[in-house]
Amino acid sequence: MPFNYPQVDTAPATIMVFGNTKSYLKYRDLWNGMVEEKKVTPEARDAAVNTFLPLYEKADRQMLVADAMVDASLVAMQLMLVAREHGYETNPMAGYDTSKAAAEFGLDPEQYIPVMAISIGKPDPSEVVPDTVRYDVKDVTEFA
């Protein structure tokens, strides 16, 4: 990992987050479980499954990768928010060899795409954390 060595070396854990390009294969099971738990009606399940499952079954790889990236990024964001709520700090990272990441963890690289690494740990209270510079939100967003 050519970048972020200090975080990897000093954090007690670094988590790799992968997106699953075949998560839609469990879509029907998810909705069946919601019917069993009486969270939705069978009719609502059928409407959702019949509407969305064909979109994924016919999707090209680019769409499946984009969808997996969004899903995994939201999971990563939630993990970082929950960690902070419990007194941990996190550092999301790129800068690793994405072509080897899935295989390194014994995952199918066609199915699982690396999204980010996240170092997590308790901050050192004696260490002064320097202020970082971020882009102003108005420079990176546009509302239409």
pLDDT in tens, the chain (144 residues): 555 567 777 889 999 999 999 999 999 999 999 999 999 999 999 999 999 999 999 999 999 999 999 999 999 999 999 999 999 999 999 888 899 999 999 999 999 999 999 999 998 888 887 888 889 999 999 988
For the chain, the maximum distance between any two Cα atoms, rounded to a whole number of angstroms, is 58
Q: pTM to 2 decimals?
A: 0.83
Question: What is the model's pLDDT at position 65?
Answer: 98
pLDDT at 141: 94
Q: What pLDDT does 127 receive?
A: 85
Domains defined for the chain, CATH in brackets: 5-124 (3.40.109.10)
Return the pLDDT at 4. Answer: 55
Could you tell me if 118 and 90 are in contact, meaning their C-beta atoms sit under 8 angstroms apart?
yes
Closest among 29, 50, 28, 32 to 41, alpha carbons compared: 32
- What pLDDT, on the 0 to 100 scale, is given for residue 132? 85
